[in-house]
C-alpha cells in the first residue's frame, strides 16, 4: 500500500474539516498534523513529499473525525497556551482564552512591590490563572478552589509541570464552603493580597446558543452563571472582604455586557477604586476593586 505524504495528509485534513464546517479548517488540520508527526512548519515545507507511516496516518484520521464532531482541538491534543506557557487541558476544564490574559495582567500590576503575596483563585479550573501569576511573581503563594474534583486534578498537574506546585495548594470547595475558610480553634481566616476569579458567567438560557465546541464539550458547571449570569459574582463579592488584607484587590473576568452590574456589586460591598478594564477588542473584560487600606497582615 502506498503511504500518504505529509502534503497529501494536510490537504486531506483541510478538506475534511472544511466539509465539517470547522471555521479554521486549515489551521486545525495543520495543528493536528504537527501534533501526530512532531514536525514543525519549517520541516513540513522542506519535506512535503515525505511518506507518513500507516500508524501515524490512522491516528491523524481518527483525530480529524473527532475534530469534525466539533470536539475542541485542545481537548484532542491536550495542549493550550496561555501567557506564553503550555497547559494541559481535557474535557473537565475550559480551554484557556487569550481574553483572560487581561485579567492576569491586571493582577500582576497590582502585585508590583508586594513581598511574598498570597493569591486566592476562586473557580480555578485548569489553574492557568493561578499558575501564570506564580510563574510571573517571585515568592508568591496561591490557593486554587473549584467544585470539580476533576478540574482540580488538572490544575494540580499544571502547577507541578510548570514548577510551581510547591507554591500552590488546591482545595475542593463550593466557593467558601470548605472548612478551610472557617474560623476554628481561635485561628483567624486565611487572608490574601488578591482574590481573582473567572467564574461561570453565561446565563443558563444562553448556553444552548453557544458554538458547538462550547455547549456540547465544555463542562456545563464551568459555564453556567445561573439565571442572569451573576450568581457567582454576588456570592463571591459578598464574602470577599473577609479574605482580603487591607489594600487587597478583588478582580474578576466578566462577560462583555456585565461590567456595570458587577461594578455595582463591588460598590455595594464597600470596595474602592472600582474600575472596568477592556480587552484587546475594546470589550469590557475585567472588573476590579480594592479593600480600604487600613494596615494589616497575613495569617
Q: What is the pLDDT of residues 279-295, one digit of tens each?
A: 989 999 999 999 998 64
Average pLDDT over residues 179-196: 84
First to last CA, the chain: 69
Residue of 295, 282, 259 whose CA lies nearest to 102: 282
- Cα separation, 294 vs 285, whole angstroms: 29
The answer, yes or no, to whether residue 186 has pLDDT greater than 90, is no
The answer, yes or no, to whether residue 145 has pLDDT greater than 50, is yes
> What is the H or E stretch that residue 297 is in?
none
The answer, yes or no, to whether residue 199 has pLDDT greater than 50, is yes
Instruction: Give the model's confidence band at 228: pLDDT under 50 very low, under 70 low, under 90 confident, else very high.
Output: confident
Contact 277, 288 (CB under 8 A): yes
Residue of 286, 267, 290 whose CA lies nearest to 276: 286
Whole-model pTM?
Answer: 0.88
Q: Where are the alpha helices (DSSP H) in 217-258?
A: 231-240
> How many CB atoms are closer than 10 A to CB 242?
13
State phi, psi for 86 to the nearest 5 degrees: -95, 130
pLDDT above 90 as % of the chain: 80
Average pLDDT over residues 3-28: 94
Q: Where are the alpha helices (DSSP H) in the chain?
A: 6-19, 25-37, 41-46, 54-68, 73-77, 101-111, 128-136, 149-161, 212-215, 231-240, 259-268
- Cα separation, 87 vs 154, whole angstroms: 9
Average pLDDT over residues 26-35: 95
Average pLDDT over residues 189-208: 85
Mean pLDDT of the chain: 91
Contact 134, 164 (CB under 8 A): yes
| 59-78 confidence digits (pLDDT tens) | 999 999 999 999 999 999 99
Higher pLDDT: 13 or 295? It is 13
pLDDT above 70 as % of the chain: 91
113: which residues sit within 8 A by CB, 6+ positions away? none
State phi, psi for 253 to the nearest 5 degrees: -85, 145
Instruction: Give the model's confidence band at 158: pLDDT under 50 very low, under 70 low, under 90 confident, else very high.
Output: very high
> How many CB atoms are closer than 10 A to CB 194?
26
DSSP secondary structure of 139-206 = T-EEEEEES-HHHHHHHHHHHHHTT-GGGEEEEE-STT-SGGGS-BTTBPPP-EEEEEE----B-GGG
- Cα separation, 252 vs 198, whole angstroms: 6
Instruction: Give the model's confidence band at 296: pLDDT under 50 very low, under 70 low, under 90 confident, else very high.
Output: very low
Amino acid at each position: 500500500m502506498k503511504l500518504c505524504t505529509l502534503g497529501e495528509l494536510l490537504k486531506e485534513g483541510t478538506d475534511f474539516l472544511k466539509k465539517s464546517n470547522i471555521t479554521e479548517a486549515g489551521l486545525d488540520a495543520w495543528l493536528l498534523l504537527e501534533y501526530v508527526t512532531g514536525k514543525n512548519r519549517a520541516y513540513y515545507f522542506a519535506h512535503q513529499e515525505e511518506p507518513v507511516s500507516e500508524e501515524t496516518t490512522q491516528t491523524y484520521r481518527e483525530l480529524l473525525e473527532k475534530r469534525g464532531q466539533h470536539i475542541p482541538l485542545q481537548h484532542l491534543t491536550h495542549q493550550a497556551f496561555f501567557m506564553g506557557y503550555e497547559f494541559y487541558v481535557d474535557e473537565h476544564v475550559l480551554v484557556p482564552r487569550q481574553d483572560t490574559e487581561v485579567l492576569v495582567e491586571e493582577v500582576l500590576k497590582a502585585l508590583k512591590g508586594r513581598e511574598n503575596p498570597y493569591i486566592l483563585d476562586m473557580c480555578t479550573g485548569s489553574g492557568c490563572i493561578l499558575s501564570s501569576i506564580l510563574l510571573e511573581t517571585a515568592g508568591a503563594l496561591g490557593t486554587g478552589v473549584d467544585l470539580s474534583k476533576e478540574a482540580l486534578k488538572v490544575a494540580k498537574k499544571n502547577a507541578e509541570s510548570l514548577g510551581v506546585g510547591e507554591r500552590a495548594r488546591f482545595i475542593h470547595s463550593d466557593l467558601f464552603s470548605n472548612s478551610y475558610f472557617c474560623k476554628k480553634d481561635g485561628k483567624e481566616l486565611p487572608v490574601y493580597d488578591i482574590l481573582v476569579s473567572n467564574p461561570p458567567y453565561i446565563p443558563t438560557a444562553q448556553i444552548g446558543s453557544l458554538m458547538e465546541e462550547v455547549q456540547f464539550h465544555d463542562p456545563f458547571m464551568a459555564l453556567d452563571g445561573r439565571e442572569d449570569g451573576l450568581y457567582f459574582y454576588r456570592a463571591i463579592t459578598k464574602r470577599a472582604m473577609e479574605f482580603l488584607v487591607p489594600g487587597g484587590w478583588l478582580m474578576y473576568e466578566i462577560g462583555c455586557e456585565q461590567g456595570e452590574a458587577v461594578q455595582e456589586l463591588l460598590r455595594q460591598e464597600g470596595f474602592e477604586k472600582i474600575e472596568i478594564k477592556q480587552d484587546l477588542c475594546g470589550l469590557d473584560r475585567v472588573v476590579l476593586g480594592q479593600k480600604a487600606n487600613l494596615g494589616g497582615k497575613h495569617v
